[in-house]
Amino acid sequence: MRITVMTAGEQIISLDVDSNETVENVKALLEVESNVPIQQQQLLYNGNEMGNSDKLSALGVKDDDLLMMMVSTNSSSGGAAPAAGSDLGMNPDGSALNPAAFQQHVRGDSNLMGQLFQTDPELAQVISGSDLNKLQDLLRARHRQRSVLQRQKEEELALLYADPFDVEAQKKIEAAIRQKGIDENWEAALEHNPEGFARVIMLYVDMEVNGVPLKAFVDSGAQSTIISKSCAERCGLLRLMDQRYKGIAHGVGQSEILGRIHVAPIKIGNNFYPCSFVVLDSPNMEFLFGLDMLRKHQCTIDLKENVMTVGGGEVSVPFLQEKDIPSRFLDEERVLNEASGSGATVPSGFTEKKNNTVANSTSQQPKRQNTSEGPEFEAKIAKLVELGFSREAVVQALRLFEGNEEQAAGFLFGG
């Protein structure tokens, strides 16, 4: 059942507990949540103090009932004090005064450990382990998270009592309402569409170009099939490049078209097919199988079977799994940095400009903001790292929500 505990400082704590739980175990959970040592807690139900050995059901506590927690400087509070005494207290930063004693006390209570594994498995696993530094770090992180949530609640309460004729207050209320709608939409997406938050691995297949094995990026949004200068040289095709077809490739950024290779053999499966290439001076992409060759060779992208068929079905090749794709192709940050720093194009959705004529791409992807640069982004990272999250997790969350600090924090807390 769920009970609500209101502290003397008007902090509201919700707990999921068993109806047969003892008051002492409830106090142990409250110690983690509020940093108030067990021996200083006094729990009141309907105005009556609750003894440590009493069970919630025996006291008549029911689902959704409200308890009051008073803080006493006296070490005895309605029952026998824990054996570890003051060693079970908490520091102002949320860490334990004596982490070994705290760990031993929680471990020694099977009911409390069972409750923790249900309500907070991460904390339960750390307590079950042997790394006291990790336990202290987690307790501090939880304390910081609670402080942030408490501050948000206080700000929301302040808005409720704000002057209704205050324009700035009304703007904040409007922003809070809008953010609440966004958060509800995000929570619904986590429940009904969790795969939407996962990274999408692009489509790659194994091919051979002029006898050289390559991982080909299949992109129906690119107008032409592309090969980089270095890859063309490795495949022995650079000598066939026609420089009369120089130009500019436009897409996410732009890149110089060095020329065109009019025909060369590619091997897909066990069959050979003629293919033409646009040669780009692009350091972040080797070979892209574009819409021109997809149409020419009647290719089908079958996402249900996770294969690409060629020649109307005469050849079928599977799309590569993430483990089979070179890590340099998956390093999005490096690709974006190179693209923005060198003016190179990200291949998907590019258009080719030659002799003042622009051929529009069938499908052009929107330009993405490179949020990995700039002092403002670093400041957001530092702020969220202070809440106890790793830098890598913070960067991923900020990118996922395009730099929105509040949504990234909500995602990290929810994870």
Q: One-letter amino acid identity for 261?
A: I
Percentage of the chain surpassing pLDDT 90? 21
- Whether 86 maps to a domain, the answer reads yes
Is pTM, for the whole model, over 0.75?
Answer: no
Query: Which residues sit opposite 204 in a β-bridge?
Result: 217
- Asked if residues 248 and 358 have their Cβ atoms less than 8 Å apart, the reply is no
Q: Are residues 53 and 128 in the same domain?
A: yes
Q: Are residues 13 and 132 in the same domain?
A: yes
Q: What is the DSSP string of 12-70?
A: EEEEE--TT-BHHHHHHHHHHHH---GGGEEEEETTEEPPTT-BTTTTT--TT-EEEEE
Q: Which of 197, 212, 234 is the last residue of a domain?
A: 197
**Residue 340 in this model has a pLDDT that exceeds 60:** no
What confidence score (pLDDT) does residue 361 get? 35
- Cα 8 to Cα 34, 100, 144: the distances in Å are 11, 29, 20
- Whether 366 maps to a domain, the answer reads no
Question: Where do we find the tokens 């053999």?
Answer: 265
Rounded to whole angstroms, the Cα distance separating 400 from 15 reads 31
Q: Are residues 213 and 330 in the same domain?
A: yes
Residue 41 banded pLDDT, cuts 50, 70, 90: confident
Concerning whether 219 is annotated as a catalytic residue, the answer is yes
Q: Are residues 150 and 272 in the same domain?
A: no
Pick the catalytic residue from 87, 166, 219, 281.
Answer: 219
What confidence score (pLDDT) does residue 73 get? 56
Q: Which of 113, 139, 165 is the last residue of a domain?
A: 139
Q: Are residues 44 and 88 in the same domain?
A: yes
- Provide the b/e sequence for 122-149 (b: ≥16 CB within 10 Å): ebbebbeeeebeebbebbbbbbbbbeee
Query: Can you give the CATH number for the domain in which 389 is found?
Result: 1.10.8
- Whether 72 maps to a domain, the answer reads yes
Query: Can you give the CATH number for the domain in which 99 is found?
Result: 3.10.20.90
- Whether 367 maps to a domain, the answer reads no
Dump pLDDT digits (tens) for 140-161. Answer: 888 888 788 777 777 777 777 7
How many structural domains compose the chain? 4
Q: Are residues 189 and 335 in the same domain?
A: no
SS3 133: helix
Q: Are residues 347 and 213 in the same domain?
A: yes
**Residue 338 in this model has a pLDDT that exceeds 50:** no
Dump pLDDT digits (tens) for 273-331. Answer: 999 999 988 766 789 999 999 999 999 999 999 999 998 888 999 999 988 888 777 76
What confidence score (pLDDT) does residue 49 get? 80
Q: Are residues 235 and 272 in the same domain?
A: yes
- Whether 291 maps to a domain, the answer reads yes
The residue segments making up the domain with residue 306 are: 204-359
